[in-house]
Amino acid sequence: MKKTMLALAAVLAVGAVHAEDTLKKIKDSGSITMGVRESSGLSYTLGDGKFVGYHIDVCTKVIQDLEKQLGKKLEVKYQPVTSQNRIPLVQNGTVDIECGSTTNNATRQKDVAFAVTTFVEEVRIAVKANSGINNIGQLANKTVATTTAPPRCKRCASTSAPPASTSRSCSARTTPTASCCSNPAAPTPS
């Protein structure tokens, strides 16, 4: 199967235009709201308002550095987010920081600020060993499970995957990352 490498950045995000306002809000209120995923491969809930995982650890380290800079302990509040609402919630100030598998691209940089890339993922497609499927083109007219797809990205648009109209999509809500483009035959993370 064709391999695709995508670099994902943790969105240590404050609204790109409102970064100073966000930091002032955090300092004045003494609290920070972290956008968290409830069922992602790299962060998830344990229930009772407890969240764990790599992305939680990254956000926690950033918050600890911010506390040192401000000279005070911050109350950390958690706000569950999804692939669809994480950027808007950062933009409108509901979430002050979100660490997740959010692809850092030029379009999103207009809306939120990104930190350096902290995670790189290789996208793969799983099929039964005896299916005879050896490349992405053979997925045409097959049912392909993907997660909800955000806007189409240039990388996926340039793949040799069959058009979305020639395959059937079966959306899965509990997989770790969202697909990068709307072509279900070329699932990639977002």
Q: Considering the domain 4-121, what is its CATH architecture?
A: 3-Layer(aba) Sandwich (3.40)
d(CA 74, CA 71): 10
Q: Among 6-20, 48-62, 68-82, which stretch is predicted with the lowest mean pLDDT?
A: 6-20
DSSP-derived 3-state class of residue 82: coil
Pick the residue with more confidence: 120 or 85? 85
Which of 18-23's residues contact partners 24+ apart within 8 Å by CB, and which partners? 18/93, 19/113, 22/93, 22/96
Q: Tokens 């799983």 identify what position?
A: 126
Asked if residue 186 has pLDDT above 80, the reply is no
Q: Could you please report the per-residue DSSP string of 142-167?
A: SEEEE----SPPHHHHTS-PPPGGGS
Range list of H helices, 9-136: 19-29, 54-70, 86-91, 106-109
pTM score, whole prediction: 0.62
pLDDT at 121 over 80: no
Question: Which pLDDT score, from 0 to 100, does residue 56 have?
Answer: 93
**pLDDT of 133-163, one tens digit each?**
888 888 888 888 765 544 444 444 334 444 4
- Closest residue by Cα to residue 169 from 138, 142, 131: 142
| Residue 173 pLDDT exceeds 80 | no
Q: Could you report the per-residue pLDDT of 31-51, keeping only the tens digit for each?
A: 999 999 988 878 889 988 899
- Asked if residue 71 has pLDDT above 60, the reply is yes
**What mean pLDDT, rounded, does the chain reach?**
73
* Domain boundaries, given as residue ranges, for the chain: 4-121, 127-190
pLDDT at 123 over 80: no
Percent of the chain with pLDDT over 70: 65
Provide the pLDDT for residue 68: 94
The amino acid occupying position 13 is A
Report the distance separating Cα 113 and Cα 99, nearest Å. 12
CB atoms within 10 A of CB 70: 14
Q: Give the range with max mean pLDDT: 14-28, 34-48, 174-188.
A: 34-48
Q: Which residues contact 128 (CB under 8 A, 6 or more apart)?
A: none
Residue 3: predicted pLDDT: 42
Tell me, what DSSP letter sits at residue 4? E
- The one-character DSSP state at 15 is B
- pLDDT at site 83: 87
Which of residues 6 and 129 earns the better pLDDT score? 129
